[in-house]
Homo-oligomer: A and B are copies of this chain.
């Protein structure tokens, strides 16, 4: 009897769903919208419908499905309970048990950034690494920390909250972080963060910059300007990479990883970002870790699905 698994990456806008074989090879993927109305009460029903629809279409029985791995944008405890997902309108409840009741299929739940880290470990740039740190540089900064092949969930599901190390002094950043603190890594190294510190630098410095002529600019524009030699963009991206490299060195003192992975939208800045972050990581790292490589994530948007499914598939 052939076995299948589903890997689901639940985001604030879309739900990415993948059908996998029992070895974790992707057979098919598709997306459905995330319906956030009514405190997100429709979301799990929509996922259950999508899974059951696919099973009917492919003539797969529920018994043939080994499990569903579900990545969610919030802290997760015991591969089941979500404490709070602000983006979805969810408060604390047993997400895994609920989706299992709706589908009759075993479910394991994982934080989305942790899922991405797991994905890079099983099929991406960190293949074969038992110990891995991943920074997901998107609208915010997420983190996934893997030790001995397993994600660190933590006592409150907040293991790997790498974006909220209060690494900078208040004057280095712009305003407060969403978490309420001031000086979080997220305020420097997210797309929003690098944009905010660059705007602040433009306001404070009188100097000329390619960016000054634009009515608005994105993280991508800032990195493009830096690669073109724009001094102000060089300065703010350097500052961002210095804090990111230093944060990576702090995390490495805790887990001593095989590899440090940079993912998320901002990581499309590519080699410039990787090399700069690695330079500062090596500067601040404990001597025995100075050879630990900083690499770019390789799975893109599929990492979450692939990592989530790894919790329920055979490998």
Q: What residues make up the interface of A, taking CB atoms closer than 8 Å to B?
A: 75, 83, 130-131, 143, 145, 147-148, 150, 152-162, 164-167, 179-181, 246, 249-251, 253-258, 284, 286-289, 292
Is B250 within 8 A of A155, CB to CB? no
- How many subunits of this chain does the assembly comprise? 2
CB distance from A169 to the nearest CB of B (A): 10
Between A and B, 30 residue pairs with Cβ closer than 8 Å are A130-B155, A143-B253, A143-B254, A145-B255, A148-B150, A152-B254, A152-B255, A152-B256, A153-B256, A154-B256, A155-B258, A157-B256, A158-B253, A158-B288, A158-B289, A159-B254, A159-B256, A161-B253, A162-B253, A165-B250, A165-B253, A166-B246, A166-B249, A166-B284, A179-B286, A179-B287, A181-B284, A181-B286, A250-B250, A251-B254
Is A131 within 8 A of B155, CB to CB? yes
User: Cα distance A147–B179 when bound, in Å?
Assistant: 24
User: Cα distance A75–B256 when bound, in Å?
Assistant: 11
Is B286 within 8 A of A161, CB to CB? yes
Query: Which of A75, A162, A165, A249 has the most chain B CB within a 10 Å cutoff?
Result: A165
Is A154 within 8 A of B180, CB to CB? no
User: Contacts A166-B246, A292-B155 hold; do A145 and B286 have CB atoms under 8 A apart?
Assistant: no
Q: Which residues of B contact A251 (CB under 8 A)?
A: 250, 254
Residue of B nearest to A162 (CB): B253
| In-complex Cβ contact of A254 among B155, B162, B179, B284 (8 A) | B162
Q: Which residues of B contact A145 (CB under 8 A)?
A: 254-255
Residue of B nearest to A291 (CB): B156
User: Contacts A250-B250, A253-B162, A253-B165 hold; do A180 and B258 have CB atoms under 8 A apart?
Assistant: no
User: Cα distance A249–B162 when bound, in Å?
Assistant: 11
Instruction: Name 20 extra pairs, CB < 8 A, besides A160-B253, A161-B286.
Output: A75-B288, A131-B154, A131-B155, A143-B254, A145-B255, A147-B152, A147-B159, A155-B256, A156-B288, A157-B288, A158-B253, A159-B254, A159-B255, A162-B254, A165-B250, A166-B284, A167-B250, A179-B286, A180-B287, A254-B255
User: Cα distance A194–B222 when bound, in Å?
Assistant: 42
| In-complex Cβ contact of A158 among B152, B153, B246, B286 (8 A) | B286
Q: Which residues of B contact A130 (CB under 8 A)?
A: 155
Q: Which residues of B contact A156 (CB under 8 A)?
A: 256, 288-289
Q: Which 3 A-B pairs have the closest CB atoms?
A: A154-B256, A158-B256, A159-B256
User: Cα distance A206–B138 when bound, in Å?
Assistant: 49
Residue of B nearest to A258 (CB): B155
CB distance from A291 to the nearest CB of B (A): 9
Q: Which residues of B contact A258 (CB under 8 A)?
A: 155
Query: Which of A83, A143, A158, A159 has the most chain B CB within a 10 Å cutoff?
Result: A158
Query: Which of A153, A160, A254, A292 has the most chain B CB within a 10 Å cutoff?
Result: A254
Q: Which residues of B contact A257 (CB under 8 A)?
A: 154-155
